[in-house]
Amino acid sequence: MPYVNIKITREGATAEQKKALIAGVTQLLVDTLGKNPASTFVIIDEVDTDNWGLGGRPVTELRKESQ
Amino acid sequence: MPYVNIKITREGATAEQKKALIAGVTQLLVDTLGKNPASTFVIIDEVDTDNWGLGGRPVTELRKESQ
Amino acid sequence: MPYVNIKITREGATAEQKKALIAGVTQLLVDTLGKNPASTFVIIDEVDTDNWGLGGRPVTELRKESQ
Amino acid sequence: MPYVNIKITREGATAEQKKALIAGVTQLLVDTLGKNPASTFVIIDEVDTDNWGLGGRPVTELRKESQ
Amino acid sequence: MPYVNIKITREGATAEQKKALIAGVTQLLVDTLGKNPASTFVIIDEVDTDNWGLGGRPVTELRKESQ
Amino acid sequence: MPYVNIKITREGATAEQKKALIAGVTQLLVDTLGKNPASTFVIIDEVDTDNWGLGGRPVTELRKESQ
């Protein structure tokens, strides 16, 4: 009965991509640890780039500089 | 000073229901563990059904099938 | 399919108390939101008092002063 | 490589304030623990006042009373 | 720069299994979302079976019954 | 009433260092957002290096290579 929380920046992940992520991580827990997929939770949080910091700076700024 | 985080799918919980949930879980911590309600935090996260997986599939799909 | 995370200080909660907490919060989600208990997760984290701060100070210190 | 999650009520924190918070907490981890800022994550969650409880009541109500 | 938190019950996962889980979920984020593995965090929490509830009961009890 | 969760690898942080971290982050929330320190929670999680992955590999391995 694993619980998985995945946080990514909110930058346009599609429902199809999130579906593939949910399926993939659930299968990975079956393959590596023998967990039961029926009681595996996966929760994806999409976080605004103003609210995510890396290296002491908001991702909003990092994205502008890398363009 | 407990901290409680409750994650539910975003499917129309009302402010009244969330108020009852906050009151109930705070009281439960008083009754079972003798905790001080004044310093008890309860945070409710409502998660889009595309972003919640169970059994390797998004809840959005599970809800369609169960209709 | 709710997910509940409860963080408390590690100060001697017994298995019986944690069992009552798990049962109580699961029932509360049935009563207030109509959730399915069979797919409700409750995870309790017990945190050392050195690692929990309130009012800018570790609980270890707060406990000593309140004795 | 620390990970920091800060939850605050959604009550108008500006991008500038969140930027200062990200910079400050990253520097604090350098100063107190010698951590590498380049691999420090900071994630800020802004939570609706209906979804945050203190003392068994939603912050929405507490704010109304304190006005 | 995704962040992944995986919670499992503490029931003997080996360092090799956890290594495979870390490698697998990091690769999955590359494959499904094009994320940069160099800034992907994976944190595994192993939770005592007394502290994990499913269906309103501690996993400790569920395990005894399923033996 | 902010809530802050700081996750670091378990590599010998002292009680004094954690105390400084708790004091510092609480003060930072006063300075940047005007938050009330009396209702600010800080929780520090120390995570085994086998259980923390960066770049798809456990920190245990990364530490060995960097020696």
Chain segment C27-65, per-residue pLDDT in tens: 999 999 999 999 999 999 999 999 999 999 999 999 999
Answer yes or no: D37 catalytic.
Answer: no
Q: Is E22 helix (H, G, I), strand (E, B) or coil?
A: helix
Q: Which H or E element spans position B60? A: helix B59-65
d(CA F12, CA D60): 41
Contact status of E3 with chain D (Cβ, < 8 Å): yes
- Regarding chains B and E, contact by 3 or more CB pairs under 8 A is answered as no
**What does the DSSP 8-state code read for residue A39?**
G
How far is C64 from chain A, CA to nearest CA, in Å? 36
Reduce the secondary structure of chain D to three states and give it as a string.
Answer: CCEEEEEEECCCCCHHHHHHHHHHHHHHHHHHHCCCHHHCEEEEEEECHHHEEECCEEHHHHHHHCC
Note whether A44 contacts B56, CB cutoff 8 Å. Answer: no
Exactly one of B2, B8, B21, B60 is catalytic; name it. Answer: B2
Q: What is the ipTM of this complex?
A: 0.97
Question: Is residue A4 predicted with pLDDT exceeding 80?
Answer: yes
Query: Structure pTM?
Result: 0.98
Instruction: State the pLDDT at residue E1.
Output: 87
Q: Which amino acid is at E67?
A: Q
d(CA C58, CA F44): 10
Q: C11 with C18: CB under 8 angstroms?
A: no
d(CA D9, CA F1): 8
- 13-42 in chain C: CB under 8 A from chain A: 39, 41
Instruction: State the pLDDT at residue C67.
Output: 76
Instruction: State the pLDDT at residue A6.
Output: 98
Question: What are D6's two structure tokens?
Answer: 């800060």
Residue E62 makes CB contacts below 8 A (sequence gap 6+) with E54, E55
How far is E21 from chain D, CA to nearest CA, in Å? 19
Question: What are E28's two structure tokens?
Answer: 């999955």
- Regarding chains F and A, contact by 3 or more CB pairs under 8 A is answered as no
Note whether A21 contacts E29, CB cutoff 8 Å. Answer: yes
Note whether F3 contacts B3, CB cutoff 8 Å. Answer: yes
Interface test with B, best of A9, A22, A26 (most B CBs within 10 A): A22
Question: Is residue D67 predicted with pLDDT exceeding 80?
Answer: no
Instruction: State the pLDDT at residue A8.
Output: 98
Q: Mean of the pLDDT values across residues F5-31?
A: 98
D12-52 per-position pLDDT tens digit: 999 999 999 999 999 999 999 999 999 999 999 999 999 99
d(CA B7, CA B52): 10
A7-58 per-position pLDDT tens digit: 999 999 999 999 999 999 999 999 999 999 999 999 999 999 999 999 999 9
Interface test with F, best of B6, B22, B35, B39 (most F CBs within 10 A): B39
**What is the side-by-side strand order in the sheet with C52-54?**
A57-58, A52-54, D41-47, D3-9, F3-9, F41-47, C52-54, C57-58
d(CA E54, CA E27): 30
Note whether C35 contacts B3, CB cutoff 8 Å. Answer: no
Q: Nearest chain B Cα to F43, which residue?
A: B3
B9-27 per-position pLDDT tens digit: 999 999 999 999 999 999 9
Q: Give Rg (Cα) of chain B.
A: 15
Contact status of E1 with chain F (Cβ, < 8 Å): no
